[in-house]
């Protein structure tokens, strides 16, 4: 019985680590490709995400990526006539 519980716990732990690693890689790629910041700021964020592993990735997600995506979605939601006047 203990062996079965141990195997289930191990499988769950490996699944969680896999998801965290995929999220970490996604944030590294997003920071490298999409972040519109100056090069020095982008380099600092890349270092924070790489060296901070998933806590650094979570910090980047909530501080940089989420506001940027929200801003882009709001710009896309503007009426076409208003965007053409600018």
pLDDT digits (tens, 9 = 90+) for 19-71: 999 999 999 998 888 877 777 888 899 999 999 998 999 998 888 887 877 77
pLDDT digits (tens, 9 = 90+) for 74-85: 776 665 555 555
Sequence-ordered list of residues with C-beta below 8 angstroms from that of 49, at least 6 positions apart, any chain? 24, 27, 28, 31, 56, 57, 59, 60
């Amino acid at each position: 019985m203990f062996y079965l519980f141990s195997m289930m716990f191990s499988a769950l732990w490996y699944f969680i680590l896999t998801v965290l690693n995929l999220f970490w890689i996604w944030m590294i790629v997003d920071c490298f490709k999409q972040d519109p910041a100056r090069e020095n700021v982008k380099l600092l964020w890349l270092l924070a995400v790489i060296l901070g592993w998933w806590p650094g990735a979570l910090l980047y997600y909530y501080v940089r990526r989420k506001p940027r995506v929200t801003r882009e979605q709001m710009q896309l939601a503007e009426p076409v006539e208003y965007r053409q006047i600018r």
